[in-house]
Amino acid sequence: MTETNPENETKVDEYQGSLANSKEDERRIEVWNELKANLKEIKKPKNVLLLGEYGTGKSSFINTVITALTGKYRYYADIGSGNLHSTTRLHKISCKEYWNPENEEDRALNLPNFIDIIGLDVQLSNPYERDTVNSQIMNLILNGKLSEDTDLLDLGMKLKEGKKIVEKSEDESLVIDIIVIVVSLEDDKIPHTLLDEIYAESKKRSRQFPVFAVLTKSDKCNDQEKLEKKKKYIAEEISIDVRKILICKNYHAGQNPDSRDVEILEFLTKLCDPCLKAVKLHKVEVEEEQATLPDTVAPTSTPIPPTNGCSLM
């Protein structure tokens, strides 16, 4: 059971109160009210899964969204540096962990749960295979068939070795509702094969999921034309409306919330649209084809030849 942090409650309430009293934040207040309206229509918090290569800023984006909501940066999702994985497990960050305002009405809002996982290795993607290591990992997570804190590094190694995983029954509390694909703007490369795999897992397997995308590290890309071109290309690659893509510069420890909050909250409002739902697909059943005899049936036994020229009538 998650313990309530009184200090965190005070910070959240102070932050929301400052928004209400600042004329400069009229748009932020408007967006916050739009978000609240959506959240009031949702019966339970949505599980939002962050997918992408390692080092793209998935964990940092989770912390950034929570900072925009609460006004305080904290390491709810662990972040690292370099080429090593900082997240190696299935980590569910429940809304109850970060959302504890004193205001009873606000506390009841069903803000999202964030599912942080290991960065996917593009070398484990293959356009000629259906069940790659990445696609198997995604399929298990999307359908709630892995437990919280599952060691995903270990799972990946076992799948690479060709071992068959014993699937657990579906856990409804971990079934994914929304997919957010995270791509870094730090370089020009686009993980085409990985994006194709994510699209296939999100649309063609057992469920269809609403998909959004975030382009992180926008401070690393000063060419606005190139940035917009990449945004449009990714939208086409995963077949989503370009308005479902957020260009974002993540917060870091020690930074105070600023004007980027409005766009982040607008994006969150879209994620929490009550009309968007994961849909379980019902496959059409077909009758098994029955074997039919050809027009000319070959004899099944050797005929008895006539004897002594006599008819066998």
Question: CA 100 → CA 36, 127, 278, distances in Å?
Answer: 15, 45, 27
> Structure tokens of 224?
């606005």
Q: Are 129 and 159 in contact (CB under 8 A)?
A: no
Average pLDDT over residues 163-182: 95
Q: By the 8 A CB rule, do 252 and 284 touch?
A: no
* Residue 24: band (very low, low, confident or very high) from pLDDT cuts 50, 70, 90: low
Strand-pairing partners, residue 214, are 182, 246
The pLDDT value given to residue 172 = 94
Report the distance separating Cα 283 and Cα 52, nearest Å: 28
- Which tokens hold the place of 180? 């957010």
Does the pLDDT value for residue 81 go beyond 70? Answer: no
Backbone angles phi, psi at 170, to 5 degrees: -65, 125
Please give the Cα distance from 203 to 160 (Å, whole number).
24
Mean pLDDT, range 221-230, rounded to an integer: 85
Instruction: Tell me the pLDDT band of 18, cut-offs 50, 70 and 90.
Output: low
CB atoms within 10 A of CB 121: 15
Residue 245 pLDDT class (50, 70, 90 cuts): very high
Rounded to whole angstroms, how far apart are CA atoms 53 and 68? 24
Residue 4, pLDDT > 60, answer: no
Provide the residue count of the chain: 313
**Residues above pLDDT 90, as percent of the chain:** 62
- CATH numbers and ranges of domains, the chain: 6-280 (3.40.50.300)
Instruction: pLDDT band for 313, please (50, 70, 90 cuts).
Output: very low
Instruction: For the chain, state the CA radius of gyration.
Output: 27
The pLDDT value recorded for residue 296 is 58
What is the pLDDT, as a whole number, of residue 312?
34
Enter the tokens of residue 8: 């965190």
pLDDT at 309 over 70: no
pLDDT score at 54: 87
Contacting residues for 236 by C-beta, under 8 A, at least 6 apart? none
Assign 258 a pLDDT band (cuts: 50, 70, 90): confident
**What gap in Å lies between CA 64 and CA 66, rounded to an integer?**
5
Q: What local confidence, expressed as pLDDT, does residue 79 receive? A: 86
pLDDT digits (tens, 9 = 90+) for 55-74: 899 999 999 999 999 999 99
277 has pLDDT over 50: yes
Q: Closest Cα to residue 159, out of 121, 194, 187, 185?
A: 121
Using the predicted structure, report yes or no on whether residue 300 has a pLDDT greater than 80: no
Question: What is residue 128's predicted lDDT score, i.e. its pLDDT?
Answer: 87
**H or E element, residue 113:** strand 113-116
Q: Where are the alpha helices (DSSP H) in 99-216?
A: 104-107, 133-142, 152-160, 192-203
Residue 215 has pLDDT above 70, yes or no: yes
Task: Give which of 141, 139, 239 is closest to 196, Cα–Cα.
Answer: 239
Q: Which residue has the tokens 């076992």?
A: 158
Share the mean pLDDT of the chain. Answer: 86
Query: In the structure encoding, which two tokens stand for residue 168, read together?
Result: 């657990």
Q: What is the pLDDT of residues 135-155, one digit of tens each?
A: 999 999 999 999 999 999 999
- Which pTM was predicted? 0.83
